[in-house]
Chains A and B, each alone.
Chain A
Amino acid sequence: MDGIKDKVAIVGMGCTKFGERWDKGVEDLVVEAAYEAFEDAGIEPKDIQAAWIGTVFSGLSAITLSPLQLQYIPMTRVENMCATGSEALRAASYAVAAGVCDVALAVGVEKLKDSGATGVKGPSIVGDNQDGSSGIGPSYSAPASFAYLATRYFHDYNIPPEEGKRLLAQIAVKNHHNGSLNPKAHFQNEITIEQVVNAPIIAWPLGLFDCCGVSDGASVAVVTRADMAKHFRDDPIYIKGLQINVGARQGAMRQDYDFVHIEENVLGSQKAYAEAGIKDPRKELSCAEVHDCFSIHELIVYEDLGFSPRGRAREDIEAGTFSLEGELPVNTDGGLKCFGHPLGASGLRMMYEVYKQLQGKAGPRQVKNPCLGLTHNLGGNAGTGICSCFIVGNEK
């Protein structure tokens, strides 16, 4: 088993502006992002030999790709909750690595704002529950399922809730700053710690600014064989590791799970580092796009992914380690918090930012001397997770 390292390269990417795109449908978002990617890769739609589309709610099959008018090629829809966009990229990359095609397309799209509901929509018809159950279980919100982490983190590390909320606020403030430098972000405004801690509570102890944006958007990648990559462009981005790690509800059912880490994150990242040959992620990674669906999860990811020692994310947050100028900039594009979180598009949106960073094209958000970047999603929630952890680099 020799892994994916350096077998596949990304040679084109596109990403729509994320946000409340009332005047744009799924078809508009897909076309917008895909044509940016085609142009970026210097290819025509007819050059695509296979395609995967990731969406959670915004289309049932690969027919969702029909607006692109790709002509009779293999196409498939994939879904893995918040890791859906990443799954599309993984499928396309594996196809190329397997040698069954040379140029493949990965599309992620989500149109959350058409549901007419605040937040992420749930099942809509009888028997349509995501967990395959009858649906009798508790109907708590998505923020609630992550708030358990905050309650327990504050408890275990003896952090008074007011202090804990200020700590988490620094993450939101950082991501808003990064988002303010990004014209494609859903939110482009700076905020203060006072605004965060005084915002309405959503799911105690999390407040409004601890929660990510609910957005529409699409993002697209064109992948090809690593040895062909330079035919497309001078600065392809090479895939170093693609790991998905899925739990089996252990944390939700077993008393030995602590709710201050997420096992899927820990194991998924360790395998990705091994596949990519990374020994010290904090030193070797130039930037990371991680799943900050809720501020507490970004904090926990710092520890789960080995950026901070266990229980010591606080010191790094306070030292500015993860800011644009810090030792390891995290969520340089604003993250889910500010760029927004159209579920199926998010994994590829993260890759779009890392791709631009590694090419030195991230404008005012550009990190110094980039060489390796990471994207990370967590689908599901604490105790029932789907982790994707991808690593890419600008050299083979």
Chain B
Amino acid sequence: MVGITSIGVYLPIYRLNRDEIARMWAGRSTAGVKAVAGYDEDTVTMAVAATLDCLERGGGRADGLSLATTTAPYKEKQSAAIVAAAADLSDECHTADFTDSLRASTIALKLAINAVKAGSAESVIVTASDCRMGAAKGALEQTLGDGAAAVMVGSEKVIAEVKGSYSIYNDFTDLWRTEDDRFVRAAEQRFVDEAGYIPTVQSAISGLMKKYNLATSDFNKIVYSASDARQHAGLARRMKLDKAQVQGPLYNEIGNTGTAAALLMLAEALEVAKAGDRILFVGYGDGCDAFIFRVTDEITKFQEKPVISDKLAGKIPITYGQYATWRNLVSAEASTLPERPPLSLPGRWRERRAISALYGAKCKKCGTPQISQIGQTPRVCVNCQAKDEFEPYKFADKKATLFSYTIDQLQPTLNPPAVNGVIDFEGGGRLICELTDCDLDKVAVGMKLEMTFRKMFYSRGIHNYFWKAKPVTD
């Protein structure tokens, strides 16, 4: 049996109310909120969080990691490798970026299913993550949201078995960006609906139904992505789908999350699915990938912990000014503090295990876990001074407690003031690091923390990622 064995979700903590965007431009609000990646987040950091969530829920290992995105931080340099290293996957893990299409996630999913079916991989994670930008004042500025989802495809402990799939491609220009575009371009909406989206999705679904001799009424849930709530509802009407069958597009809660959108909807569907349920799953973009999933008995165990419902409600609302600064839509005044120099690439390479997966070391003589704030691997024990008696020790997955902190008004950051803390890990080890995703009023000595992979700074074409601490989110 091949199918989905785990799903992980990451949604940023920040929400931008569409009324706030409308107020900014004296325009019309399409209601609801959009999820906004924090000032220190991007496609890669969100993908890391979703992948780790997926691995934690599914346990075990992955011998493939595919990252689907249209917003990779690099044009040349693989993002999946950065994600795999942060998720501490074996270097034998086969990594790939799937990009340039909103359908990249379902394309990768289909290939992952094929790989597992063919026996060339035991389990493959497909992570989709996007931070697409709509131009200021435009409809897409309100529509697009940021988020990530990861599904693991395997053949053991399958929660949703794949029973069939059908794909078509379609060279249709509805949403696009050239190499020079920062913002998504869109064709006229009526044209897109009538000549592109609706006929394409209809054609893929009817092809799938015909291939497997089923009807849409045979499905408990129909999960399909769309550009916005209007387009999503339009398709349901045209296809005369039963309202109870249609999985909501999450538009009011997070917005259209690009390659991640369909997977996030699937996560929500699986959170309440019952064993035996049949799910029709469709990804759209330059064509269509349609899948049939059958929910298994394993679903009960999977549903012990919510996948997405606990993450939907935004925890920190932001202003348009914050959004504009984080996304570099306005030229904010630079800090008067000295500029940070670029990183030494050889130094960063030497410190790669600490930087990627927050590895420190544990002394084999005295058992003290230790990590330096600067990433260098210890050679002499900070506790007993034994030399070179260490084993690698990972801090990325350890919870911590805030021992002391400061709210720093001077530190250059896109989201002032910066919060910094001295944190003590459960099981030992101390790190002085930045804190993120904090409600300033709630920062206190003793606060429980977990580690999160974030973007520290960008310099001379290099995105520099490292770990920060954030309040435990439960």
Interface residues, chain A, with chain B CB atoms under 8 Å away? 115, 117-119, 121-129, 131-141, 143-144, 147-152, 155, 200-206, 248-250, 252-255, 257, 259, 383
Q: How far is the CA of A249 from the CA of B422 in the complex (A)?
A: 13
B374→A136 contact, CB < 8 A? yes
Q: How far is the CA of A74 from the CA of B371 in the complex (A)?
A: 41
Q: Pick the contact of B434: A121, A140, A151, A201 (CB < 8 A).
A: A140
Segment among B138-146, B282-290, B338-346 that sits at the interface with chain A: B338-346
The count of A-to-B residue pairs whose CB atoms sit within 8 angstroms is 164
Tell me, rounded to whole Å, the shortest Cβ–Cβ distance linking A306 to chain B: 24
What does the 1/0 interface line of B407-441 toward A look like (CB < 8 Å)? 11111100001101110100011111110000000
Tell me, rounded to whole Å, the shortest Cβ–Cβ distance linking A98 to chain B: 30
16 contacts between A and B (CB under 8 A): A122-B338, A124-B341, A132-B376, A133-B375, A134-B344, A134-B347, A135-B343, A136-B456, A140-B420, A143-B406, A202-B409, A204-B406, A204-B408, A252-B373, A259-B404, A383-B432
Q: Does B39 contact A (CB under 8 A)?
A: no
Residues of B within 8 A of A134 (CB): 343-344, 347-348, 350-351, 355, 374-375
Residues of A within 8 A of B407 (CB): 201, 203-204
Q: How far is the CA of A255 from the CA of B421 in the complex (A)?
A: 13
Interface residues, chain B, with chain A CB atoms under 8 Å away? 336-338, 340-344, 346-348, 350-351, 355, 368, 370-376, 382-383, 403-412, 417-418, 420-422, 424, 428-434, 445, 456-457, 464, 466
Q: How far is the CA of A135 from the CA of B466 in the complex (A)?
A: 11
Residues of A within 8 A of B412 (CB): 139
Q: How far is the CA of A248 from the CA of B372 in the complex (A)?
A: 11
B404→A141 contact, CB < 8 A? no
Q: Pick the contact of A148: B374, B382, B405, B411 (CB < 8 A).
A: B405
Tell me, rounded to whole Å, the shortest Cβ–Cβ distance linking A244 to chain B: 20
Q: Pick the contact of B336: A118, A144, A152 (CB < 8 A).
A: A118
Tell me, rounded to whole Å, the shortest Cβ–Cβ distance linking B356 to chain A: 11
Contact flag A249-B403 (CB < 8 Å), given A136-B351, A137-B374, A144-B410: no
Residues of B within 8 A of A121 (CB): 338
Tell me, rounded to whole Å, the shortest Cβ–Cβ distance linking A71 to chain B: 37
Q: Which of B344, B428, B431 has the most CB of A within 10 A?
A: B344
B374→A131 contact, CB < 8 A? yes
Q: How far is the CA of A202 from the CA of B376 in the complex (A)?
A: 30
Q: How far is the CA of A249 from the CA of B385 in the complex (A)?
A: 13
Q: Pick the contact of A259: B376, B403, B411 (CB < 8 A).
A: B403
B430→A144 contact, CB < 8 A? no
Q: Please, which residue of chain B has its CB at the minimum distance from the CB of A127?
A: B344
Q: How far is the CA of A354 from the CA of B445 in the complex (A)?
A: 39
Q: Please, which residue of chain B has its CB at the minimum distance from the CB of A128?
A: B341
Tell me, rounded to whole Å, the shortest Cβ–Cβ distance linking B85 to chain A: 14
Tell me, rounded to whole Å, the shortest Cβ–Cβ distance linking A248 to chain B: 7
Q: Please, which residue of chain A has its CB at the minimum distance from the CB of B402?
A: A151
Residues of A within 8 A of B382 (CB): 248-250, 253-254
Q: Please, which residue of chain A has its CB at the minimum distance from the CB of B382?
A: A253
Residues of B within 8 A of A125 (CB): 341
